[in-house]
């Protein structure tokens, strides 16, 4: 086929135009892709140095709830159980500790003896269990070592009416009211002395009428007693475990309830207690010089019913080498003879253990 001369002239021009259009399209497509690539590579600007970094605050620390005592016989730096005690020969009342260099050194602010106290405590517990074997009644005992922050608790599930031993809560609440300027000391001074010396109910009622249930509740809360124990505004409506009653005394001895003056006043009066001989559980006299020892005893001995006998208080050396110990021994017994010697055999075991531990601090 032969083209006309005019068509042969137009063909190169059309081809050149087509090629130009295609080149333009390719250029535009490449330019668009470059623009998109440039956009994806732009980093988000970081804040200026002048801006303050905000950190989400962590949740505030809250105190752990008080731990309920556990196993029937335990020794607890913080409730660490010990094996069930096995009977051993009852020790004599002589105290002859062997003090080593390791015992004299301190660890984390606590006496080094605290590291080995559990074994010695277990021996004391075994001896207490032995002397109380076949006792005509139910009982429980707690001993708190304030230096080590540990407790020896025998039969912690036991709880009972504390009789007059619970009056220490009322007395402490009233002295707090005096300390805080809410109560005139002269209005309760004679009653406080009478209650701590002779434990008369009428004087306790007079003091209780001048304080509120809320003030009593503050004392219980500061002591950190568990839900197993309570003492309402009227002191006769009360129930304590041995450990919780010992905690009340521990809070007093540490100065957590009262200032230094009123703490000393209360402890001194407690050391002057007068006890009828037949209702003694722990005696009024410590029997070893160099120690301050006091208690608010309790005894409720109705006819034709079980007797409630309680010893609760503190022991500390007069030279201040130890912060001291607090104790509570609660008994409910059907034994008619209140002079029975079985419960009284516990005190020498507790006393000798405490003295031995204190001597290890020296």
Mean pLDDT by 10 residues, the chain (362 residues): 43 47 42 38 34 33 32 34 33 35 60 95 98 98 98 97 98 98 98 97 97 97 98 92 98 98 98 94 97 97 94 98 98 95 98 97 90
* Three-state secondary-structure class, residue 331: strand
Residue 216 structure tokens: 């009593």
Q: Please report the pLDDT score of residue 57 as a whole number.
A: 34
Q: Which CATH architecture has domain 136-339?
A: 3-Layer(aba) Sandwich (3.40)
User: How far is the CA of 264 from the CAs of 80, 109, 219, 301, in angstroms?
Assistant: 32, 24, 17, 31
The per-residue pLDDT for range 268-301, each reduced to its tens digit, is 999 999 999 999 999 999 999 999 999 999 999 9
Angle at 182 between CA 181 and CA 187, to 5 degrees: 100
Tracing tokens 């516990």 back to the chain, one arrives at: 346
Q: Please report the pLDDT score of residue 94 as a whole number.
A: 33
Tracing tokens 């002859």 back to the chain, one arrives at: 96
User: How far is the CA of 290 from the CAs of 41, 286, 315, 316, 351, in angstroms?
Assistant: 84, 10, 11, 9, 13
Residue 113 structure tokens: 């003896």
Domain boundaries, the chain: 136-339
Neighbours of 186 (CB within 10 A): 8
Neighbours of 159 (CB within 10 A): 21
User: How far is the CA of 140 from the CAs of 129, 143, 231, 290, in angstroms?
Assistant: 10, 11, 18, 28
The per-residue pLDDT for range 24-82, each reduced to its tens digit, is 443 434 444 334 333 333 333 333 333 333 333 333 333 333 333 333 333 333 333 33
CB 187 within 8 A of CB 210: yes
Query: Which residues 6+ apart lie within 8 Å of 51 measured at CB?
Result: none
Q: Phi/psi at 51 (nearest 5 deg)?
A: -75, 145
Q: Phi/psi at 245 (nearest 5 deg)?
A: -70, -35
Q: Please report the pLDDT score of residue 83 as a whole number.
A: 31
Of 263, 301, 259, 266, whose CA–CA distance to 281 is shortest?
301
């Amino acid at each position: 086929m032969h083209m006309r001369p005019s068509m042969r002239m137009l063909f190169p021009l059309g081809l050149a135009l087509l090629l130009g259009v295609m080149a333009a399209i390719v250029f535009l497509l490449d330019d668009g892709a470059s623009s998109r690539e440039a956009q994806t590579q732009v980093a988000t600007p970081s804040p200026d140095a002048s801006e303050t970094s905000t950190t989400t605050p962590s949740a505030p620390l809250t105190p752990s709830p008080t731990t309920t005592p556990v196993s029937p016989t335990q020794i607890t730096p913080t409730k660490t159980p010990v094996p069930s005690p096995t009977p051993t020969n009852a020790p004599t009342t002589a105290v002859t500790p062997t003090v080593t260099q390791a015992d004299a050194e301190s660890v984390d602010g606590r006496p080094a003896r605290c590291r080995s106290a559990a074994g010695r405590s277990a021996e004391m517990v075994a001896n207490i269990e032995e002397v109380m074997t076949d006792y005509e009644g139910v009982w429980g005992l707690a001993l708190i070592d304030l230096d080590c922050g540990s407790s020896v608790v025998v039969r912690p599930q036991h709880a009972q009416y504390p009789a007059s031993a619970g009056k220490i809560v009322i007395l402490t609440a009233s002295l707090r009211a005096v300390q805080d300027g809410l109560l005139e000391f002269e209005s309760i001074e004679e009653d406080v002395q009478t209650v701590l010396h002779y434990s008369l109910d009428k004087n306790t009622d007079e003091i209780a009428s001048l304080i509120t249930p809320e003030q009593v509740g503050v004392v219980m809360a500061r002591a950190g007693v568990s839900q197993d124990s309570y003492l309402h505004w009227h002191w006769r409506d009360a129930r304590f475990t041995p450990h919780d009653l010992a905690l009340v005394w521990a809070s007093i001895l540490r100065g957590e309830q009262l200032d230094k003056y009123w703490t000393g006043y209360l402890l001194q009066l407690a050391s002057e207690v007068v006890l009828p001989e037949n209702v003694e559980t722990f005696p009024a006299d410590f029997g070893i010089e160099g120690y301050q020892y006091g208690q608010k005893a309790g005894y409720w001995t109705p006819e034709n019913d079980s007797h409630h006998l309680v010893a609760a208080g503190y022991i500390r050396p007069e030279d201040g080498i130890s912060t001291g110990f607090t104790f509570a021994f609660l008994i409910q017994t059907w034994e008619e003879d209140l002079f029975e010697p079985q419960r009284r055999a516990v005190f020498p075991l507790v006393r000798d253990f405490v003295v031995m531990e204190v001597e290890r601090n020296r």
